[in-house]
Amino acid sequence: MSDIAILYDASKCTACRGCQVACKQWNDLSGDVTTNRGTYENPPDLSANTWLKIKFIEPEGELRWLFGRRSCMHCTEAACVEVCPTGALYHHELGFVAYDKSKCSGCGYCVEACPFDVPRSSSGAITGIRHANKCTLCQDRITNDQIPACVKSCPTGALKYGDRSDLLAEAKTRVSQLKETNSKANLYGENQLGGLHVLYILEDSPDVYGLPEDPKVPATATVWQNIIQPVGWGLAGFAVLGLGLNYIIAQRKIKMKSEGE
């Protein structure tokens, strides 16, 4: 089976946020009480209730309004899958990072390992059991001949869903068209982390959108998945794991601080 993907074309996005609402509707996620913080952007961050949000970017001192998308990038080399001790996060045969909530132990390693800072964990209101939450690429829809809810709601065609290879070709054509008037236009996600299953057409460099130019899976995550886990749950493993995860957490905290809101 060939890989699928979502293509987000920022140059066509009007930030109407139909996608953001459609995501909440389909996945039955509640709305948070927010405040206006001097921006149209809300809620302030991804959360257990918010798996997709649109970013509003006004580059300092310029008369531009760029719109970006924050959600799971569905990496091929996925740190979250690497660190997940229970197999709750795994690669679906269609290539995206699927999630089986029933298997999630709520360890939170994925939250810390993700180079895009996407998964969030929360406790159930009644059970108190912790679970991770993130975009599932509407696995329940796409495996039933439906397109993802966000794509379905998009009025302009800024979001598309289909075979990754087709979307990649389409994106390249689009980028070359955009480059005629905007030399900064670029495609993001073709090769990052072995190829993302959410591809972005951007109007400026990735850092303007808050995206890492060259995202990496933390080394300790690889160690965990490829070395420790096969060895089994030995004491030594726990020790290494503890150290490693401490390192990842520290790195993430530093990164998140620098990114701000």
Partner 1 sequence: MTNHWIDIRNSDCIMIIGSNAAENHPISFKWVTAAQERGGKLISVDPRFTRTSSKADIYAPMRSGTDITFIGGMIRYILNDMQSLSPAERAQKYNMDYVANYTNAAFIINDGFEGWKDLAHPGLFVGFNGKNSEVPGNLGSYDKSKWKYSNASTPATDAAVVNDTWTQFSGLNANCVLRKLWENYEVFTPEKVEEVTGCPVEKFLEVCEEYAASGAPGKAGTIMYAMGTTQHTYGTQNIRGYAIMQLLLGNIGVAGGGINALRGTSNVQGSTDMCLLSHILPGYLSMVNHKDQSLADYISRARGGKYPTAPTGLHGDTSASWWWLSDEAQNYKKYLVSLLKAWYMDNANEANDFGFNWLPKVTSGHDYTHIGTFESIADGIIKGMMVWGQNPAVGGPDSEGERHSMDNLEWLMVADLFETETAAFWKRPDPESADETSRVDSSKIKTEVFLLPAACSYEKQGSISNSGRWAQWRYKAVDPIGEAKADLAIIDELMLKLKEKYADDNSIQAEPINNLYWDYRTSGEYAHEADPNVVAKEIHGYNVADGSLVKNFVSLQTDGSTCCGNWLYSGMFDNSDGRNKAKDRNPVDTSLNQIGLYSGWTWCWPINRRIIYNRASVDFDGQPFDSEHPVIQRSNGAWLGDVPDGGWAAINEAGFGSKYLPFIMHPEGVAHIWGPGRAEGPFPVAYEPWESPLEENLVTGVVNSDAAGKGTPGFNNPCCYVGNLEGWNKKGTPDEYPYIGMTYRVAEHWQAGQMTRNHPWLAELQPEVFAEIGPDLAADKGIDNGDKVKISTARGFVNAVAIVTNRMQRMTIGGKTVDHVGVPWHWGFMGRSSAFHSSGNILTPHVGDANTTIPEYKTFLCDITKV
Q: What tokens appear for 50 in the block?
A: 């918010």
DSSP for residue 18: H
Kindly state the helix (H) or strand (E) to which residue 143 belongs, with its residue range: none
Of 93-101, 150-158, 190-198, 250-258, the window that binds partner 1 (rule: CB under 8 A) is 150-158
Q: Contact, 184 vs 203, CB < 8 A?
A: yes
Instruction: Pick the closer one to partner 1 by CB: 106 or 162.
Output: 162
In this structure, the strands spanning 130-133 and 89-91 are unpaired
Q: Contact, 188 vs 203, CB < 8 A?
A: no
Is 55 a binding residue for partner 1 by CB under 8 A? The answer is: no
Among 20, 133, 192, 220, binds partner 1 (CB under 8 A): 20
Is 40 a binding residue for partner 1 by CB under 8 A? The answer is: yes
Is 69 a binding residue for partner 1 by CB under 8 A? The answer is: no
| Cβ at position 18, least distance to partner 1 in Å | 7
Q: What does each C-alpha distance from 238 to 86, 208, 220, 246 come to in angstroms?
A: 15, 39, 13, 12
* Residue-wise DSSP of 190-251: SSGGG-BSEEEEESS-GGGGT--SS----HHHHHIIIIIHHH-S-HHHHHHHHHHHHHHHHH
Is 18 a binding residue for partner 1 by CB under 8 A? The answer is: yes
Instruction: Pick the closer one to partner 1 by CB: 36 or 102.
Output: 36
Is 33 a binding residue for partner 1 by CB under 8 A? The answer is: yes
Is 1 a binding residue for partner 1 by CB under 8 A? The answer is: no
Among 15, 46, 52, 118, binds partner 1 (CB under 8 A): 15
Residues of the shown chain interacting with partner 1 in the complex, contacts defined by CB under 8 A = 11-12, 14-18, 20-21, 24-25, 30-40, 42-43, 58, 61-67, 155-157
